[in-house]
Structure 1
Amino acid sequence: MSDKSYQIKENNQVMIQGGEKKVMKKILSVALSTAMAFSMFASVAFGDDALNTQQKYDVLKEAKIFSGYPDGSAGLDKEMTRAEFAKVLVGIMGLEPIQGKASFKDKNYKASKWPAPYVEAVYSAGLMQGKNTTKMIFDFNGKITVQEMAKVLVVAQKLEIPTETNNNASDWAKGYVQAAINAGLVDAKANPKANATRAQLVEVAYDIYLSQQKPKVVSYEVKEDGKVVEFKLANNEVVKVTLETPLKANTATEVKFTHNNYNYTESVTWVVTAATKIESVSTTNYKELVVKFDGEVEAKTAENEDNYKVTGVTFESAKLSADKRTVTLLVAENSANLPGQKDTKVEIKGVKNSDGSKTFNETLTFRAVDTQLPEVTEVKGLGTKAFKVVFSEPVKSTTASNISNYKIDGKAVSGWVKFTYPNVAFITTDLAVGEHTLSLQGVEDYANFKVSPVDVKFTVAEDKAAPEVVSVKTKDLTKVEVEFNESVKSVDKVYHTSSAKTADKVEIKDNVVVLTFSTDSKKLSLGENTIYLEGVRDYSDNSANRDVKVTPVLDTERPTVSSVKSDVYGNTTVFTLEFSEDVNLTDIQNRDNFVLKNSKGEVVTDKGFNNGKPVTVPTYEVKNGKTYKNHVVIKSIGTLPAGKYTLDVANIRDTASIGNTMLPQTLSIDVTNTSALKVERAWISSDSDNDDLYIDVQFNRAVAVEGNGSALEINKYSYVVNNVYKVFPTKNAPQPTLRNAETVRLTIPKKDFSNWKTELEGNFLRVVNVADLNGNYLTDSQVKISDKVTIPVKSVKATALDKVKVEFSGNITSVVSSDFTFAGNIHGTAGEPKYDNGVTTVEFTLDRELNKANLGQVTTVGDPQTSDNLGHKIEVLTGKDIEDGIAPKAVEAKTVTGNTYVDIEFDEKVTVYYTPDAFKVYVDGTAVEVTGATNASDTVVRVQLAKPFNPTDRTLGGQVSIAKGKYIVDSKGNSADAVYQEVKY
C-alpha cells in the first residue's frame, strides 16, 4: 500500500492518486504535526528561522520524535545517549521500529526493553553499526559525539563527502563532519569530539523533519490550453492540477492545490503569444463591437468583417489593433444598431490565431449598453481654412454635419461641414493664425446622448505645403491604399499606367485615399505599377500631383472549406459550406464540383442528387439581405436519411484577380447528431505478464490520441468497487497505448493490488472525458471488466429471400461461412464485412430461398471461428430469429379506361403514405395530375387521378412510378424500392 499521495483535480473532483513506496517512508501521512505546529505557534511563521530551539523541540515532541523527561522538561542542555539518538533517528527518517529482536550483546540489551526496537531499526537500515561490530556491542547507554552524529546523518541523507575539510574532527570523521557543516546540519563552531546535546540534535532533527514535510515548487508547466498545470517539486515529484477555470493567457493567477496534506499557493503565468481563446466581446456604444483575444491573431482573417455575424446587423469593417489582440467591428452607418439592453449573440468563424494553430469558430453573448456621453478627443487646425474634430465614438451624421453646432471664439462658423463616418468632422472656414476656442454642442451618438457643451482650445498655423505620400499598399490587383502626411480634402483624378485606367472608385478616409480598380481592363499589372494622383488637395487648398510606385502583393492562398453544417428545413436538407475566403460564383454553380456519398462510400442517387451531384444549383448564402460570398448552400429535394455522409469538393477558385484553386477536400457531414461515443467492452487480457496486468478497453469507434479528448491518459480511467470509485495508481503505471484505432490498453502493475482478480474482475471500469476523432465526447461511462470476450450478434435480418444481413457488436474481420446455418438447413456465402460505428454488417447469399411465411432462425456451430480484429470469437447461437427486412414488391399496375385511378398490387400487405412529388402517372408519355393515394385493399395501393385514364396511343399506353422512400411500407416497416410499372388496361 502506498504511503504517498498526489491530489489531482479532475472534472471538479479531488481524486487521491497513489505513488511509489519508499524504503524510508515519510512520516505523518496526515497533517497532524504541521497542524500542531501552526496551532501552537500561530504568531510565528513556520520556518527555519522562525522558531527557537524549545519551539522546534515542541513540534518534534508532538510528532513523537522526541520524548520529554518525567518532570516535563525538554532537557535541551543534556547529552544524548546512543539509544536516545537512535529513537530520534527512527522518527525523523520515518523508519518502522522492529519489535521482538535483539541483535546486540550489550548488558541489559533485550528485545523487551524500550531501546531495542529503535536500535534494531537503525541497524537494519544501515545507519548505525554499533561501537564494536565484531563483538556486536552497540553501547546504547553511551553518549554520542557530534562527529558520530554527523556521520550517521550524512549517511542517512546520502550527502556527498567533500575532499577538502576544515574542522577539528578525528581523521576518520573529518569528511562526514565537513559534509554536515556544508549542509547546515552541524554548526561549524561546534566541537566535533564533544558529546552531542539534545539541543544540537533538535536543530538537526527539525531541519530534516521540516524538509521532508513540504517540498517547494521549483517549476511549473501549463498544458491543455491553460486547463492543466504540472508543478515540479524539489523532491522531483510532479503534481498535476486540473483547474476548474482555465488560466487567462499572460495573466498572473494564484493556483491553490494540496499535495501530501500540504497546502500550496503558487503564482502561475501562462505565457502565450498566439491567441488560444476569445477573452471577451463587449461594447460601450451601439455601433462598435470589440472582440478581445488572449494573444495575437492573423490580420487577414481577423480583419474580414464577414467572419463576424450578429443577426440584423451589417458590419462595415473590422480593424485589428497594433498589438494584434483586439478587433473593433464597425457597424455600417445605414445598418440597424447593435441591439440595446439585451443579450445578443455574435458568431465568430474562421478567425485564425497568429501561428495558424487554432481557428476560432464560436458563438458568444454580449449586451450592448451605452451609458457614456460622446466626447471630443481631438481638435486640429488644418491650415487657415479648415479644422478637424474627432469624437470618442460613432456619432450621427445629421448632428455632426450641422454647422450651427460649432462656434469659433464664441461666434457662429461661416462655412460647411464634411462628416466622415463614424466619428470625424471636417469644418471648412477661414481661420486666423494663432489660438482659437471651439465651442461644441448638439452632436448625438446612437444612444441619443448629446456631447456635453465643451470649449476646446486649438492652434492654427499657416499651411503652404501640399499633401505628401507617406506609404502605399495593395490588396491583390484591385485595391490600393495611399496614406498621406495630412488630411486630404479631394483628389481630381486617379489612374495607373495610362490615363485610360482610371480608378472605378475613390474613397477618402481622412489622410488615406482608397482606390479600387475592379474592372478587368483596369486591374493592376503583376509587376511594378505607377499610381498617378492628380490634384491632391488638402484643406488649405494646397494642391499637387503625386505619383507612387507599387508592386502588388498577390493573394496566393488557396481557399479551403473551414466548416460545414447540416440543417433540415421542412422536407429539405441544407448543407452550408463556409470557405476561408470569398469564392467564385461560376465555380460553385458547377454541380460537377460537388459529390455526396453515404457512409458506405456510395454516391447518393436520390433526394435531389444525381450520381452524388446536386440537382439544385448551389448558391451563395443570403442572410438579412446580405450575400456571403464565402458561404455556399447546397439543398436536397426531400429530406436525406439520417446518418454520416461525405462531400467531395474540388475545383473551386477564390475571387482573387488570379484565382487560387482549392485542393480537393472530403468533408464529413452528420445529417443528424451522431450516436454517442461509448465503451463497448473491457476485459483483462490473456497475455498479461507476471508483473503487469493488461486491461483492454474497446470503444465503438476510433478515439482521439491527442488534445483534451485523448484516450491515452491513465487519469481518465478508474474502477468501481461497491459503488466506490478507485483510481489506478499512476506513479508506477505507464500511460495507455493503442491496440487499434478503437481499442486502448491500460498497463497496471499487479503489485498495486492485494488481489487484483477480486478487485477488478466482474467490477466496473469507469471512463471519462475521452473523445472520438470528430471531437464528440464520452462524458462518463461504465462497463463491466470481463475475464474473456465473445462478440455478440446484434441482429439478423433477411433483405431478400436469398439474402440475410447479420450485424455483430464488434469489428469482425474474419467470417467463416460454415459457422452459420439459416432456417434449419440452408447455408450461405458471407460477403465482405463492413464495419461502422462499433457494428459490423455481413451479408450472406443463401444457397436457396427462405420461406417468406416463416423465415426461421439462424444457428452457429458449437465452436465458431468467426472473429474480430483482435481474435475474439463470436458468441454461440442456438437459435436467433431472422427478422423480416424484405422490401414489398409491386406485382402489377392496372386500371380501366375512363377510371380516375390506377391500382398497384404488391406481393404483401402494405400501407401507403401519400406525398405529392413521389407519385407520378404518365398517359401517352405525358404526366397527368395525381391527387392522392390510398389503400384499396391490404395489398393494393390506389393512385387517384384528376382526369380519367384515357390513352390514345396504344404503343405508349401508361406508366406509374413511385419514388423510393417511406411511401409504401409493409407491416415490418420495410419501404418499397422505387416502383416503375406499365399500366394494364
Structure 2
Amino acid sequence: MSDKSYQIKENNQVMIQGGEKKVMKKILSVALSTAMAFSMFASVAFGDDALTSQQKFDILKEEGIFTGYPDGTAGLDKEMTRGEFAKVLVELLGLEPIQNKASFNDKNYAAGKWPAPYVEAVYAAGIMEGKNTTKMIFDFNGNITVQEMAKVLVTVQNLEIPSETNNNASNWAKGYVQAAINAGLINSSVNPLANANRTQLVEVAYAIYLAQNKPKVASYDVQEDGKVVEFTLANSEKVKVTLETPLKANVATEVKFTYNNYEYTESVTWVVTAATKIEGVSATNYKELTVNFDGEVDTATAENEDNYKVTGVTFESAKLSDDKRSVTLLVAENSANNLPQQKDAKLEINNVKNSDGSRTFKETITFRAVDTQLPEVTEVVGLGTKAFKVVFSEPVQANTAANISNYKIDGKAISGWVKFTYPNVAFITTDIAVGEHTLSVQGVTDFANFQVKPVDVQFNVAEDTTAPEVVSVKTKDLTKVEVEFNESVKSVDKVYHTSSSRTADKVEIKDNVVVLEFNGDKKLSLGENTIYLQGVKDYSDNSANREAKVTPVLDTTRPVVNDVKVEVEDNATVMTVEFSKDVNLDDIQKRDNFVLKNSKGEVVTDKGFNSGKPVNAPAYVVKDAKTYKNRVEIRSIGKLPAGTYTLEVANIRDTATIGNTMLPQTLTVEVTNSETLQVVRAWVDTTSSNDDLYIDVQFNRAVAVDGNGTALDINKYSYVTGSAYKVFPTKNAPQPSLRNAETVRITLPKKDISADELKGAELRVVNVADLNGNYLTTAQTPIADSVAIPVKSAKATAEDKVTVEFNGNITSVFSSDFYFGTLRGTAGEPKYNDGVTKVEFTLNGKFSDVTNLPLLTTVANPQSSDNLGHKIAKVDGLQITDGIAPKAIEARSVVGDVYVDIEFNEEINVYFTPDAFKVYVNGGEVKVKGATKASANVVRVELEQPFNPTIPGAQVSVPNNKNGKYIVDLEGNAPDTVYESIKY
C-alpha cells in the first residue's frame, strides 16, 4: 500500500488524515459495521428482500452512487468496468476523489478524464492496486471479475487469508476467494473467473449503503380505512403506524414516526378509487336529490331507485354521474309528494355498493331541499325546419312547459304544439325557416313556483333530410334494450327482434334514446340478436327502417340479503328481508326457504311458525302503491316475544332471465316489539268562543317535548286541502302545547285561519318522536270537525261476547249506551294500549247465527267519555265482525280409508304444513301426506297409507292451531287445538 496522506469525507466536512493506517481505520469502521451485508454473493438478489434490484438501483442513483446509461436505463444485465466500480466504492465509502493526478499508464488515462479521480482515490486508500503494479496499469476499461471483487471485500474487512483453499480462482486470488467463501460472502458455486454484472454490484453497493445511511421509505400501504399506514423501508423492514385521525381519501397528508432512533416525515396519499363514505346529500329543487360519494360506486346498485327512500316520495330513476361519484334521484312525475320543502327530511340509502364491492352503504342522511334559483333555459336545438327542442336547467311543471303561448320566435307567437318530456325537455313542433333565430321564453314554472328567467336565446336552424341513425345499443339481461340515435326521435312505428312476431311489449322514447322491453317468450336469445326498428322518425319527419345487432350481457350476480328490519303492525311482528336485487316470487312464497330460530338455536314453533317456517306465505312489500320486488315481508301471527333470533334464508333466485341463486345466509334478527309512533286522530274544536282556534292531535303514546323529536314545534305540522299543501300561520300563534302526554294542542288565531278552511283537510305531521326516540314516519290524517270520539270497530269473540275498540283513551264506559242488534251487554274494564281502548262486553244472550252478525248502535247522546272529557260519537250502525273461532263438528273416514274429513260449523280455509296434522290409530301415528279444502266447511286430510277406522281410538288432531293458524275461517279466526275421534 502507498504511504500517502489522503482526504476522506466525514459529516460533509473535508478532513486530512495522514498515512495508510488512518485511511484503513476509517474504511474498516464502515466495513465492519456491514460485515455480513455482503452475503449477497451467496444469494445474488436477496431472495427474501422486498425490493427489486431495479428499485435498489433507483435509490442508489438518487444518491449519486450509480449513474444510468444515456438512454435512462439501469443496464442491470450489463457487465461493469473496473473504473465504474472504483467510482461506486468512492461514493459508498465516503472517499474524496483525488483531482489533478494520474498515477497509472493506461491508454487514454489522464488526470482530466472522468475515471481518474476515483481510481486515484481507491488506489490511495489501498483498496484497489491495479492489474499490473510494475507497469502501473489499472485497466479501468476492463471488466471487474468476481475474484477481483472478492479481494476488495476481504481487504476492506481485513479478513484473515486461509492457508488451505478449495476453489478454481486464479492463483493470486485463491486466498481472497476462500476467505470470502469461509466468511459466507461468496457461494462456493459462483465462478470466480466470471465477470461481475451490474446487478451483483448493485446488490453489494446497496448493502453497504444501508449500513451507512438512514434507510429511506421505499413504499407505503394504507390499511384499515385510512387508520393505519404500513411503511416499507429501503432495507425491507416494515413499520406500521396507527394514526390518531384517519387519512382523508385522495388528500396528501404528512405522517411522522420514529424508528430505530431515526425520525421520518413522509407525505402520504390514500389513493381511493372506490367510495368509502357518503359525503353528503343535497337538493336545489323539489324534484331532484343528489347523493355525493367520496369515490366511485357500483353502477347497478347505485342506479336502482329502490335503494333510496324518502317517506311519501316515489323516485322514478337514479342516474349515476360520468365520474361514478354522485347519483341524482328524480322524483316520479306522478309521485304523491315532492321533496319536503325547506325542512329537514331523511333519505334512507340501502344496498348501494362501492365500485370494488368492498363496502355496501346503509345509512340514513338528513337533508333539506331548498330551491332559491330561477329555472333557466340551458339549451335550444333546431331539429330541422319543423321543430326545435328546449332544455331547462331543472324539472319544470308540465302544464307551463307545454303551453305554446310561453314561447316566441323572433318576437312572434308560435303556431304549433308542444310535447313535454318529464322532467325538463320541451319539443315544439312548428314550421321554422333555415337560418338564425331568437327564442323568447317566459311563464314556465318550476316546482317552487318560480318562473323561468325571461331570456332570449339564439339558435340556428338547418335543413334536415336524413333519418335518425343508430349510435349504440345495449341490453340489460335479456329483456331490456336501449337504442341510442344521433338525434331526437319523434316516433317509431314498430319494433321487434329476430322475427316480426317478437314485437316489443313496451317502447318508450326519451329524446334520442328508445327504450324497449321484451318479456315472456319474446325475450332475447343468448347469442347475437338483431333489433328491427321500423319507421324511425325524427322531428323533420324523416323516416327510415333501422336495425341494430346486440349480444346481451347476462346478469350473473347472485342475490344476497343485505338487511332484515323488524316492525310491529296490527299486533303482528313483521320482518322485512331486503335483498340486493329483485327476487323470484315463486321462491319467496316457498315457506321452506325461510327458517326462524330463537336465541337457543331452536326452531320457532308458534306465533305463525311451524318448525321455524312461516305459516303465512312470505310476500313482496307493497307500499305507496308500489311493489318492491327486492323486499320480502314475513308476518307472524301475534307478536313474537322480544329477543334475538336468527333467520336462515336459502334457495332464493333473482329475476334475471337465467336466475342466479343466492348462497345460504343466516341473519341476526332483533325483536323489540316497539311499534312506530302514529297519529291516532286529529280534530278541530269549533265550539271555542274566544279568539283562538284549537287543533288537537292525539298520538298512540307519549311524545317528546324537547330535542330533535319534539312534538311542540309548529313547523312540524301542516295541512293539505285538495292537492294544495299549506303551512299554518305562525306569526301570531304560540308554539303547540300538551293537553296530556300523548295529545298536542295547536293554537291558531281565528283572524288568520278559519275552521271552515280546515274542514275536509288532512293534517300532515313530520319528525315527531316518542319518549324512546322512535320517530313518526310522515303521517297524514283527516282533521275531524268534531271532538266526539269515534268507535273504531266491534268484533264478536264468542257467541255472547263482543270487543269494542275506540280511537282514544276511554276511561268511562256506560253499558246502557250500546246495542248489539237486539241484545244488550255489560261492559268490562277499559284497556288502553297504543292509542286504542278495548272494552269487552258480555251479552245478555247469544248470537243465533255467527255467519250473519248484527250491527252495533248507540243511543242518541252517549255518555261514555275519554280522559279529556270528550264523549264518544253516536253510532248509527257499525257491522260487528266475526272474531269467533270455527268449531269442529266431527271427523270421519272416507274414500277407501286413505282420507279423514274434518267438518266445521262454518266455511274455513286450510294451510297445510308438515307435522301440523296428526292421525293416530290404536295409539300409533299414521303418516299424513297433505291437507286440502274438500268443500266449504270440510278439511280433507290425506294419509300415506290406508288405515282401519273400525279400530277403537282412531283420532285426528291439529295441535297448536291457534298459534299456527293452519285452519281458519274466512275472517282469519283459528280454533285452538282440534281433537276429534274418527267415525267410520
**TM-score normalized with structure 1 length:** 0.48
TM-score by length of 2: 0.48
